[in-house]
Amino acid sequence: MGLYVETRVRVDLETLWAYTQEPALHQRWDLRFTEIADLPRAEGEPRRFRYATRVLPFLAVAGTGVSAGERHRAGGDRVSALRFSSPHPLSLLAEGSGYWRYVPTADGVRFLTGYDYRPRWGRFGRAADRLAFRPLMGWATAWSFDRLRLWCERGITPARSRNRWLLELAGRLLLAAVPFVLTRLPLGPVSLAAVALTVPGLAAAVLLPPSSRVPAARRCPRTPPAIAREPRLLATLEQP
């Protein structure tokens, strides 16, 4: 898989399964989606869903997907696989597939994902994906996983953790910007002090660890293990 993210959540397996499998709960913590809703299906068919991401106040990019899960596996873990596609011409993501794996541990669940997709727009799309979109998707997935962890472990709702993250981000930007603003003042003790504080201010803004109550992508490993295989369940799903 092209992208990989994992986290460890100190919660029981049933709770984590519900928070990630119920569309109404999933869309609250996952930054990549604005809306997720189940679609009608015949009995015995895989689960089908519609997803949308609002990129502007008046513009949402939508797609559909098909998924299936295995709740009772011999090793005690669970897995959910999906395939998805978007016909929207403004969606860089054309189609893809991925999985979620839930591995019980002594103090919770090791929750991980692997997924990949095919970009559209030809050579330009591949370049935009490699340079910007794929790194952004990796970051958004990791940030969302940590947001989910805070919700499960501490009861911090996704809306509240988002607001706390925005406040912390504003504080970091202010810490980096104030010395630059002060250097615009007429040369004097204040301006000279600002020059001396510019580099430390930038370093502090970047290197200060995030609050334990604020989601942070850096907490989630993004390097897959040496042996990482797609679940066989994924091969049973057709493209939506």
pLDDT tens, 46-85? 899 999 998 888 888 999 999 988 887 777 889 999 999 9
The structure's pTM equals 0.88
**What proportion of the chain, given as a percentage, has pLDDT over 90?**
62
Record: fold of 3-156+218-236: Alpha-D-Glucose-1,6-Bisphosphate; Chain A, domain 4 (3.30.530)
Alpha helices in the chain (DSSP H): 13-21, 23-29, 122-128, 134-154, 158-182, 189-207
Distance from C-alpha of 30 to C-alpha of 7, rounded to nearest angstrom:
14
Distance from C-alpha of 63 to C-alpha of 36, rounded to nearest angstrom:
10
Distance from C-alpha of 167 to C-alpha of 183, rounded to nearest angstrom:
25
pLDDT tens, 28-47? 999 999 999 999 988 778 89
Task: End-to-end CA distance of the chain: give it in Å, rounded.
Answer: 19
pLDDT at 185 over 60: no
**Average pLDDT, stretch 193-203?**
54
How far does CA 146 lie from the centroid of its chain?
8
Mean pLDDT of the chain: 87
pLDDT tens, 2-34? 899 999 999 999 999 999 999 999 999 999 999
**Number of residues written out for the chain:** 240
**Average pLDDT, stretch 208-223?**
92
**DSSP bridge pairs for 117:** 96
pLDDT at 238 over 70: yes
Distance from C-alpha of 206 to C-alpha of 208, rounded to nearest angstrom:
6
